[in-house]
Amino acid sequence: MSRVAEDIRREQLARFRAMTPAERVALAQRLGDEGLATIMESRGLTRGEALKEIRRSRRAGRKPSRSMDER
């Protein structure tokens, strides 16, 4: 790893460790919302359609399950 990348990683880790658990949860939710918005915009999907697509992609390559398909 380059020196610059290592320094950046250390800085990010220090900022993350300084966060409270509530701040970490809020960050995770914000990043999830941003990711969902990106998928919706890039593929022209509604929120519900994007969520279904994400669920389908998580199951890709796994053993089929009728209970998961009924959701």
Confirm whether 64 is domain-assigned: no
Query: What is the average pLDDT value for the chain, to the nearest integer?
Result: 90
- Token look-up 């380059």 returns 2
% of the chain with per-residue pLDDT over 70: 90
- Token look-up 């390559």 returns 61
pLDDT tens digits, 34-60? 999 999 999 999 999 999 999 888 877
**pLDDT of res. 1:** 67
Confirm whether 71 is domain-assigned: no
Confirm whether 42 is domain-assigned: yes
How many domains, the chain? Answer: 1
Confirm whether 68 is domain-assigned: no
Measured CA to CA, the distance from residue 8 to residue 2 in angstroms comes to 10
Report yes or no: 19 and 27 within 8 Å, Cβ to Cβ.
yes
Domain interval for residue 39: 3-59
Q: What letters, b where the CB count within 10 A reaches 16 and e where it falls short, cover 24-57?
A: eeeeeeeeeeeeeeebbeeeeeeeeebeeeeeee
Has residue 33 got a pLDDT over 60? yes
Has residue 71 got a pLDDT over 60? no
